[in-house]
Amino acid sequence: EVQLVESGGGLVQPGRSLRLTCRGSGFTFGNHSMTWVRQAPGKGLEWVGFIRSRGHGGTTEYAASVKGRFTISRDDSKSVAYLQMNSLKTEDTAVYYCSKSRYFPHYWGQGALVTVSA
């Protein structure tokens, strides 16, 4: 059974950093791109970015709203993907989901709540 579990969410002050972890199981993690999507309270879904599999270069793509502040990385030996969030803003407050694949994200985690507030 494919499972994705996010962790690392919490309350953080504006300007500070936070790192989310997405741990996958039930599939060959290293063979798949991993996507991050967020959802602000009461709002719709917003794509954050993804990281390609190592076989496709392991490169990353980001939404304009987070580019330069957020970094996605992966450690296939541990079946984890990371979302490093720096210079956080209040508008980054959201539930952050990781999901498998880039073109049609499927199998989503339960989400990690990140609250940016003074």
Partner 1 sequence: DIVMTQTPLSLSVTPGQTASITCKSSQSLLFSDGKTYLSWYLQKPGQSPQLLIYEVSNLFSGVPDRFSGSGSGTDFTLKISRVEAEDVGVFYCMQSIQLPIIFGQGTRLEIK
Question: SS3 sequence, 89-111?
Answer: CHHHCEEEEEEECCCCCEEECCC
Cβ(4)–Cβ(99) under 8 Å?
yes
Say which DSSP state 8 is in. Answer: -
The answer to the question of residue 68 lying near partner 1 (CB under 8 A) is: no
- Name which position in 18, 111, 114, 116 contacts partner 1 (CB under 8 A): 111
Q: Supply the minimum distance, in Å, between the C-beta of residue 16 and partner 1.
A: 25
Sign of CA dihedral 90, 91, 97, 103: negative
- Name which position in 5, 8, 9, 61 contacts partner 1 (CB under 8 A): 61
Q: How many helices (H) and strands (E) does the chain have?
A: 0, 11
Closest to 85 measured CA to CA, from 31, 6, 4: 6
- Name which position in 24, 97, 112, 114 contacts partner 1 (CB under 8 A): 97
- Shorter beta-carbon distance to partner 1: residue 3 or 13: 3
- Shorter beta-carbon distance to partner 1: residue 46 or 76: 46
Stretch of 14-22, 23-31, 61-69, 85-93 lying at the interface with partner 1 (CB under 8 A): 61-69
Q: Which residues bind partner 1 (CB under 8 A)?
A: 35, 37, 44-47, 61, 63-64, 97, 102-106, 108-111
